[in-house]
Chain A
Amino acid sequence: MFMTHFRNEVERVRQVTCTATESMSRRRLLASIAVLLVTVLGPRAYGRAYSGGVLPWEPSETQPPMPVRPGQWLYFTADEAAVVEAIVDRLIPLDDSGPGGKDAGCALFIDRQLAGSFGDSRRLYMSAPFTNGTPSQGPQSPVVPKDRYRTSLTALNDYCKVAFGGKSFATLGTSQQDEVLSGLEKDEIKLSDRSGKEFFETILQNAMEGFFADPIYGGNRDMAGWKLIGFPGARYDYRDWIERYNETYPLPPVSIMGRADWNTPG
């Protein structure tokens, strides 16, 4: 009874895995089975249930990679997501060399980061005392990134509505968007009482992370960032290439979860 149920579940997971367009791999399958075992075996299982695509973090564990699942926003509201997509698409615009920040999934990346351990600083020391220190003492704010994003995005739209006749950032023309982003970068635009420059630097940093981090995090879609700079990605072994100077590495990039064409049933 149990084994039949288990086999059916594995078969279901396998079918889902094989039909997914994004690279789903044996590792994801195994992770799914681990969740299944927990579900099937009940409270005495040796595994642990989790949800939301983010593993519960324990300081004494080594965890496998956990690819984000594309789909609806986990943290952003639709309005916030529209602003973030517009910003990342101006930071990394679509041109002849490849897709822009939006199509490369940078907003999805930032959404998943904010929904995870980066967003609430859960791995960081976040207790008192909160005192402004010197630059070399590093960040000392009690405000976690996901809250900073939310208040900054709200304040950005408030600014745009006043400055551009009721329009939100996402509905501005690209030259007006660039004007606003330059104003933030130069710290000429404040976001309520906060520095616009600080927010600009944060979202630029996160957009670059999204564009160049492994696609398992939701950005760098189809390894667009890596193709752009000729980075081979998570290749297993380069020993054959170590002493071959001034030659172009010919193999296409590969993600931690492989490549789409490796995972498509032939």
Chain B
Amino acid sequence: MVKRLPAKDAVIIGLGWTGSILGYELAKAGLEVVALERGPWRDTATAFPTSYAQDELRYDFHHDLFVQTKQTTLTFRNKAGQTALPIRSWASFLPGNGVGGAGVHWGGQTWRFLPTDFRLRSHLEERYGKNFLPQDMTIQDWPVSFDELESYYDRFEKLCGISGKAGNLRGQIQRGSIPLKVGDRMNIRHLR
């Protein structure tokens, strides 16, 4: 009944962007890799053909590309005092399913965290004082810094072909760009 398959060096669970990139890197390093994916195999020609990928009812209204809540879902509440209830129909976020994961409905933008995002507790305490954060607020600094990650950001952006002109490079506002300043958050109005 249980079938024992040959052992591999690495098992990747979930073949979304992270799993795919990791699988590629591990295989390139000479390891034998097996990846497990709960959803369908997807490739561009059969899963996203330009002849019917436009189907708004199927993909946007009925969430065909995503995990169906029948398969698996989460419970949700806004506040600790509420009773968490199962999400039956996705609304605020759309978990991916199948090869490609949530990357199949990637909006085509990647945003770097700000340097202060990596040391948020330290940053807030330095700026507003030790007692600024409530006792029960669990914000922590990341164990890595922006500078340590910067070269990986760069590599990832090149891998996914991120293009466009940054609005603010080392404090210099760039002409012909959207000049987001440090501290600005992505604002949907900038995109419309």
Contact = CB atoms under 8 A, between A and B. Distances in A.
A126 B71 CA distance: 11
Interface of B: 38-42, 46-47, 50-52, 54-58, 61-62, 68-71, 73, 76-78, 82-83, 85-89, 91, 97-98
A129 B57 CA distance: 29
Main secondary structure of the interface of B (DSSP, over half): loop
B38 A234 contact: no
| Nearest 6 pairs of A and B residues by beta carbon | A125-B69, A213-B57, A123-B68, A133-B85, A234-B54, A125-B73
Main secondary structure of the interface of A (DSSP, over half): loop
A117 B82 CA distance: 31
A248 interface: no
A217 B40 CA distance: 24
Contact of B89 (A60, A129, A139, A236): A139
A65 B86 contact: no
Contact of B39 (A60, A117, A138): A60
B51 A59 contact: no
B88 A237 contact: no
A137 B69 CA distance: 14
B69 A217 contact: no
Nearest to B71: A59
A233 B87 contact: no
A131 interface: yes
Interface of A: 59-62, 64-65, 117-118, 121-127, 129, 131, 133-134, 136-140, 209, 212-214, 217, 233-234, 236-237, 256
B85 A123 contact: no
A59 B39 contact: yes
Contacts of A139: 88-89
Nearest to A117: B62
Contacts of B97: 59
Contact of A62 (B38, B46, B61, B78): B46
Nearest to A137: B85
Contacts of B40: 59-62
B70 A134 contact: no
Given A59-B68, A118-B62, A256 B88 contact: no
B91 A138 contact: yes
Contacts of A136: 76, 78
A123 B62 CA distance: 9
Given A60-B40, A131-B83, A136-B78, A125 B54 contact: no
B37 to A, nearest CB: 9
Given A59-B97, A60-B38, A125-B86, 9 more contacts: A59-B39, A59-B71, A125-B88, A126-B70, A131-B85, A137-B76, A138-B91, A214-B54, A214-B55
A125 B52 CA distance: 27
Contacts of B71: 59
B54 A137 contact: no
Contacts of B86: 125, 127, 129, 140
A252 to B, nearest CB: 16
A65 B55 contact: yes
A65 B52 contact: yes
B59 to A, nearest CB: 11
B85 A237 contact: no
A209 B42 contact: no
B56 to A, nearest CB: 7
22 contacts: A59-B38, A59-B70, A59-B71, A60-B39, A60-B40, A64-B52, A65-B52, A65-B55, A118-B62, A124-B69, A125-B87, A126-B88, A139-B89, A209-B61, A213-B56, A214-B54, A214-B57, A233-B54, A234-B51, A234-B52, A234-B55, A256-B52
Contact of B82 (A134, A214, A217, A234): A134
